[in-house]
């Protein structure tokens, strides 16, 4: 695995994509990673409805990212800026940070990948990829924008975790480990940045109706739903509403919290 500390350094010569990226007191700026999938799209649309200008990251799914941008505009938002990049590639990660002009008011770390299988089925490459995408990328992206947040003494950092980061899951050990690490990151960083007026929180979805769960058989899905007191899967929009709350001024005293969105499945 390549060395990673301090790989992201923002400088005065950093190139910008569009001047409209800059957040203002009237139009705050939100940066959302993994914005081409169902949950990322719902988050972007909800924030657009709340008046945010958006910088949206995607990797391979350009069509999905364009759809997200279209829906954000239809929701009443301005045209989002799209940034492509592979968060598992340190060079690409650096480029992503350099393309975002200014400091976001809200950062939403939504990129992720499911790892399903016995723990011994995953090799070193899988481990390195999971760490890079799930832990190192959020860590470095946050660090790239922290100087600006610290300077103005405000900011919201929100990570999308998982119910498995709270409880662990057999046959999803690697995924559970990454999400559990994110939860610890949230709690520790919230304590460190609290005196500077910056809130750090996580959202831990349970079973959500997204493509990530398309691999489940009908019987497996039914068994999971039967175990959920709410009696159904959640929706991407319900996850997005949780993010929207944590991004809002009303959550100024909420920090270091992992907000479960799981229909009382695990509580």
**Closest by CA position to 95, among listed 37, 32, 15:** 15
The one catalytic residue in 58, 115, 139, 175 is 175
Contact status, residue 203 vs residue 158, Cβ threshold 8 Å: yes
* Residue 58 is a catalytic residue: no
d(CA 203, CA 262): 10
Give Rg (Cα) of the chain: 18
d(CA 26, CA 49): 14
**Closest by CA position to 56, among listed 76, 74, 79:** 79
Phi then psi for 201, rounded to 5 degrees?
-145, 170
d(CA 246, CA 239): 11
Contact status, residue 74 vs residue 51, Cβ threshold 8 Å: no
Active site positions, annotated: 175
């Amino acid at each position: 695995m390549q060395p990673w500390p301090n790989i992201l350094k923002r400088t005065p010569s950093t190139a910008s994509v569009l001047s409209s990226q800059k957040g203002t007191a009237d139009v705050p700026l939100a940066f959302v990673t993994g914005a081409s999938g169902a949950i990322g799209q719902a988050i972007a649309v909800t924030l657009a409805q709340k008046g945010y200008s958006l910088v949206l990251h995607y990797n391979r799914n350009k069509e999905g990212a364009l759809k997200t941008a279209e829906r954000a505009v239809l929701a009443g938002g301005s045209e989002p800026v799209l940034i492509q990049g592979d968060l598992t590639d340190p060079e690409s990660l650096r480029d992503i940070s350099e393309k975002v002009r200014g400091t976001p008011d809200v950062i939403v770390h939504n990129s992720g990948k499911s790892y399903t299988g016995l723990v011994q089925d995953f090799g070193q490459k899988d481990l390195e990829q999971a760490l890079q995408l799930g832990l190192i990328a959020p860590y470095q992206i946050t660090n790239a924008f922290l100087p600006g947040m610290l300077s103005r003494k405000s900011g919201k950092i929100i990570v999308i975790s998982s119910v498995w980061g709270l409880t662990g899951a057999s046959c999803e050990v690697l995924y559970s480990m990454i999400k559990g690490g994110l939860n610890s990151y949230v709690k520790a960083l919230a304590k460190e940045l609290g005196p500077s007026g910056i809130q750090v929180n996580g959202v831990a979805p349970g079973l959500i109706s997204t493509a990530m769960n398309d691999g489940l058989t009908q019987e497996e899905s039914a068994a999971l739903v039967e175990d959920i007191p709410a009696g159904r899967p959640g929706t991407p929009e319900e996850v997005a509403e949780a993010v929207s709350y944590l991004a809002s001024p009303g959550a100024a005293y909420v920090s270091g919290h992992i907000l479960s969105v799981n229909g009382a499945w695990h509580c």
